[in-house]
Amino acid sequence: MGWLGVTALRWRAHRPVVEGVPAYRHYGARDAKIVITEFSDFQCPACRMAAEAVRSVKARHAKKVTLVFRHKPLTKIHPHAFLAAQAAECVGRQGKFWEYHDLLFQRQREWTAAPDVKAALVELAADLGLDRAGMQACLGNPETVRPIMKDIDAAEQKSVNATPTFLVNEDRCVGARQFLTRCLPDIRRKLGEAE
Amino acid sequence: MKPSRSGSSDRGPILGFSARVVVAGVFVFSGLEKLVAPPEEFAAVIETYRLLPDFMALLLARVLPWLQLYAGLALAAGYLTRLSAALIGAMLAVFIGALGSTIVRGIPLSDCGCYGEFIHLNPPTAIAVDAVLLALTVLAARSGRRLLALDRWIGAPEMRNL
């Protein structure tokens, strides 16, 4: 009976990811055989460490791999994660999602410790040349919440509870270590086979 | 008035049964909590202890929750009570050792990963909880078979000399 229950719960995890991730959160080849979906949280230190691995994939495999970023803000332990996700959506709509993604992780300690986190996030966007007033207005717009909620639903459907979680086609790696030691070698092997 | 010897020993079966239920409940909950999540998530927790090679972490993440679940169910039912208590005691001793080693080696763990997503304990708290559970496990092994235990009904002859 226990086995049946567990199998039923696992079955949930293998349903397809919900479609509808905005184009600005895709990186790399459009019709790649390998799709890496990262569920991440901008306030999570483990995600910051994994960002280096993501940068390496972007630099080395962008022509053969599709990278998709999905929000999974762990708001119980990271109180500013949702706001950062909203800010990333605002910047993404202006075409600089990945630059802001990198900046949020590089300067994570700085903006998470700021007395006014919202202002710090707006300043980071301004560093990329975006308009401060536009960012403020966007952060107050409930429309920015919708794509994040969609990602949170998708995470639930795929039984993603921890960040960062990488779904590489059907494989799953949780954390930078698993991504570097298991998923990335698999990706390289598959790309080698495809060549 | 001093309690009589027989009076105190009468409480033994109840205490043993209570200890069995508490320890079994914790292990069944802990096992199920890990089983309903993808094993890679528990493997990521095991990796933070830096005690095992990577492939062993995923293997352990697949095996340990089942071991916890079945040992917990056996103890709850009072089936092979001493063997299941011994297995749980061994697991608790290993958990205490692993948690202690992270403190000694200065590995910062914010969560021991013992109870999945619902309960987060830091290593010192988890060690204290595991020590209490270990004491209850000893109690369950010593007097847990005397009340509402399958062992009493089906015999479990191989356990009589343990």
Among chain B residues, the shortest Cα distance to A175 is held by B44
State yes or no: pLDDT of B157 exceeds 70. Answer: no
* Residue of B27, B29, B35, B122 to mutate, interface with A, max A Cβ within 10 Å: B35
A19: left (phi over 0), alpha (psi -120 to 50) or beta: beta
State yes or no: pLDDT of A168 exceeds 50. Answer: yes
- Give the model confidence (pLDDT) of B61-82 as tens digits: 999 999 999 999 999 998 888 9
State yes or no: pLDDT of B6 exceeds 60. Answer: no
State yes or no: pLDDT of A183 exceeds 80. Answer: yes
**Nearby residues of A185 by Cβ (< 8 Å), 6 or more positions away:** none
**Nearby residues of A106 by Cβ (< 8 Å), 6 or more positions away:** A51
**Residue B35: which of A8, A94, A27 has the closest Cα?**
A8
Interface of A with B (CB under 8 A): 2, 6, 9, 13, 159-162, 165, 172-175, 177-178, 181-182
**Nearby residues of B39 by Cβ (< 8 Å), 6 or more positions away:** B58, B61, B62, B65
Chain B residues within an 8 Å CB radius of A175 = 44, 47
How close A91 comes to chain B (CA, Å)? 31
Chain A residues within an 8 Å CB radius of B73 = 2
Taking each helix axis from N to C end, the angle separating A117-127 and A97-106, rounded to the nearest 10 degrees, works out to 130
Phi and psi of A104, rounded to 5°? -60, -40
**Residue B47: which of A49, A160, A74, A68 has the closest Cα?**
A49
Give the pLDDT confidence score for residue A31 in this predicted structure: 79
Instruction: Supply the pTM of this predicted model.
Output: 0.80
Distance CA B42, CA B30 (A): 11
Q: Judge whether B40 is closer than 8 Å to chain A, CB to CB.
A: yes
| Contact (Cβ atoms closer than 8 angstroms) between residue A46 and residue A176 | yes
ipTM of the complex: 0.75
Sheet with A171-174, side-by-side order of all strands: A26-28, A65-71, A34-40, A165-168, A171-174
Terminal alpha carbon distance of chain A: 46
Among chain A residues, the shortest Cα distance to B117 is held by A161
Percentage above 70 pLDDT, chain A: 89
Among chain B residues, the shortest Cα distance to A45 is held by B110
- Give the model confidence (pLDDT) of A109-128 as tens digits: 999 999 999 999 999 999 99
Average pLDDT, chain B: 86
Q: Judge whether B50 is closer than 8 Å to chain A, CB to CB.
A: no
Distance CA B155, CA B25 (A): 24
How close B22 comes to chain A (CA, Å)? 20
Tell me which residue in A13, A159, A162 faces B44 most closely, judged by beta carbons.
A162
State yes or no: pLDDT of B158 exceeds 60. Answer: no
Q: Judge whether B74 is closer than 8 Å to chain A, CB to CB.
A: no
Q: What SS3 string covers chain A?
A: CHHHHHHHHHHHCCCCCCCCCCHHHEEECCCCCEEEEEEECCCCHHHHHHHHHHHHHHHHHCCCEEEEEEECCCCCCCCCHHHHHHHHHHHHHCCCHHHHHHHHHHCHHHHHCCCCHHHHHHHHHHHCCCCHHHHHHHHCCHHHHHHHHHHHHHHHHCCCCCCCEEEECCEEEEHHHHHHHHHHHHHHHHHHHHC
Chain A residues within an 8 Å CB radius of B117 = 161
Q: Judge whether B35 is closer than 8 Å to chain A, CB to CB.
A: yes
3 state DSSP class of B119: strand
3 state DSSP class of B4: coil
